[in-house]
């Protein structure tokens, strides 16, 4: 099927980026969040992002205005009744996602595709909340979605070939490189590789082998990564990495994925990264 209109559910960082990306590439977008304030903040973040693009000569003021005109703002999921594709970007809570997909299944056209931006959770289980699991898949963008080049297209157990083909075509239309995850496993490709990398880095810090700064420096200059493991965890959210580790440990029944004690203590203290002002690094003076 040809996708023309996209519904994005959730106006947080990921939903904002995905909605902005789709609108910039000519799609009509319906951006929905339970809270009107969240929607307005999302639009403001898009404007700031595009202002920088205008300053750098990557888009014009007219293109910015046209992009914003393509975005319908709403707090009512019923406004998804004529979309061709929904991309869910709510909190990483499996029960919440299943509840959302059950509601979406009753609202969107039978031909519409239902996707989740989850970074780790089971597509197959989320799809059980719908009457037609063949139209459900994972569409995992990376933050910030406007810039990061990759999207993982993930099959659930019953996802159809037609669904996967349409999603790959959509990814190409928004100028992303796509990879197909053929089996529904926790963490898919990127997080399956990244989470052990985080765990070992935290263990090195716990054991006093090196400082967070030097571990980040070693990874950036030794492996040529753009960000070190602690910089990346602080940027993405220390709490998100922790929850993924716990999910991996339970799903794989493997203690290798257990969160290190240092990370647990940080979660207890509310040191969730840049968004909290403190994570592996302290941003409070910088933010002032």
Catalytic residues: 119, 140, 152, 191
CB 180 within 8 A of CB 214: no
For residue 248, give every residue at least 6 positions away whose Cβ sits within 8 Å of its Cβ, in sequence order, or none: 120, 186, 187, 195, 254, 257
Sheet holding 177-181, edge to edge: 71-74, 28-32, 5-9, 85-88, 113-116, 136-141, 150-155, 177-181
- H/E stretch holding 150 reads strand 150-155
Closest CA to 139 of 285, 238, 159: 159
Supply the DSSP string of 74-113, one letter for each residue. ES-GGGGTT-SEEEE---S-HHHHHHHHHHHHHHS-TT-E
For residue 40, give every residue at least 6 positions away whose Cβ sits within 8 Å of its Cβ, in sequence order, or none: 73
CB 40 within 8 A of CB 74: no
- H/E stretch holding 218 reads helix 212-222
Q: How far apart are CA 24 and CA 65, in angstroms?
A: 10
For residue 125, give every residue at least 6 positions away whose Cβ sits within 8 Å of its Cβ, in sequence order, or none: 94, 98
Q: How far apart are CA 156 and CA 29, in angstroms?
A: 25
Cβ neighbours around 183 below 10 Å, total: 10
Q: How far apart are CA 263 and CA 266, in angstroms?
A: 5
């Amino acid at each position: 099927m040809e996708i023309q209109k996209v519904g994005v559910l959730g106006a947080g960082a990921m939903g904002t980026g995905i909605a902005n990306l789709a609108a910039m590439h000519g799609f009509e977008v319906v951006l929905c969040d339970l809270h009107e304030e969240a929607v307005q903040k999302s639009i403001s973040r898009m404007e700031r992002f595009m202002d920088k693009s205008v300053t750098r000569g990557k888009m014009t003021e007219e293109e910015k205005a046209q992009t914003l005109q393509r975005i319908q703002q709403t707090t009512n999921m019923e406004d998804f009744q004529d979309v061709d594709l929904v991309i869910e970007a709510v909190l990483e809570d499996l029960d919440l996602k299943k509840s959302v997909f059950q509601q979406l299944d009753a609202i969107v056209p039978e031909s519409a595709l239902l996707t989740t931006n989850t970074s780790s959770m089971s597509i197959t289980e989320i799809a059980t909340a719908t009457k037609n699991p063949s139209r459900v898949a994972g569409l995992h963008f990376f933050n910030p979605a406007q810039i990061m080049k990759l999207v993982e297209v993930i099959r659930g157990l019953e996802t159809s070939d037609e669904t996967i083909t349409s999603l790959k075509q959509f990814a190409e239309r928004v100028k992303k490189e796509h990879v197909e995850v053929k089996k529904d496993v926790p963490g898919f490709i990127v997080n399956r590789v990244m989470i052990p990398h985080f765990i070992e880095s935290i263990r090195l810090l716990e054991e006093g082998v090196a400082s967070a700064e030097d571990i980040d420096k070693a990874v950036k200059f030794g492996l040529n990564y753009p960000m070190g493991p602690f910089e990346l965890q602080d940027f993405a959210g220390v709490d998100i990495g922790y929850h993924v580790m716990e999910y991996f440990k339970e799903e794989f029944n493997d203690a290798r994925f257990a969160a290190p004690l240092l990370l647990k203590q940080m979660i207890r203290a509310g040191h969730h990264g840049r968004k909290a002002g403190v994570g592996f690094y302290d941003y409070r003076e910088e933010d002032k």
